[in-house]
């Protein structure tokens, strides 16, 4: 069986399986998506990574990623 995945599907899979956050930006995007899931922020205000996280991740997954301390994280994730 051969699976053909798009770049978006692969990146969402990586985001789902990489707990905790790997960068400050990823942690902040998870926090924004989590606040939208809780109803504290409008879904329409989300863009980019936070919007895809909102759509693809569960509340507990977002909580784990958003809970990551930012102190020793890089600003951006290295490719």
Can you tell me the distance from the alpha carbon of 18 to that of 38, in angstroms, rounded to the nearest whole number?
A: 22
Helices (H) and strands (E) in the chain, counts: 4, 0
Specify the pLDDT at position 18: 54
Structure tokens at 31: 């926090």
Number of domains present in the structure of the chain? 1
Residues 48, 29 contacting (CB under 8 angstroms): yes
Establish if 42 belongs to a structural domain.
Answer: yes
Range of the structural domain that residue 34 is part of: 20-66
What single DSSP character describes residue 71? T
Q: Which residue has the higher pLDDT, 34 or 75?
A: 34
pTM of the model: 0.70
Residue-wise pLDDT tens digits, 14-57: 655 556 788 889 899 999 999 999 999 999 999 999 999 999 99
Establish if 12 belongs to a structural domain.
Answer: no
Closest CA to 70 of 27, 35, 10: 27
Establish if 44 belongs to a structural domain.
Answer: yes
Establish if 48 belongs to a structural domain.
Answer: yes
What single DSSP character describes residue 25? H
């Amino acid at each position: 069986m051969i699976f053909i995945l798009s770049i978006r599907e692969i990146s969402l899979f990586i985001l789902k399986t990489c707990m905790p956050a790997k960068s400050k930006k990823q942690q902040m995007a998870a926090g924004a998506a989590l606040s939208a899931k809780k109803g504290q922020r409008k879904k329409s205000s989300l863009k980019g990574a936070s919007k895809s996280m909102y759509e693809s991740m569960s509340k507990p997954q977002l909580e784990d990623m958003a809970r990551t301390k930012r102190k020793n994280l890089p600003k951006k994730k290295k490719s």
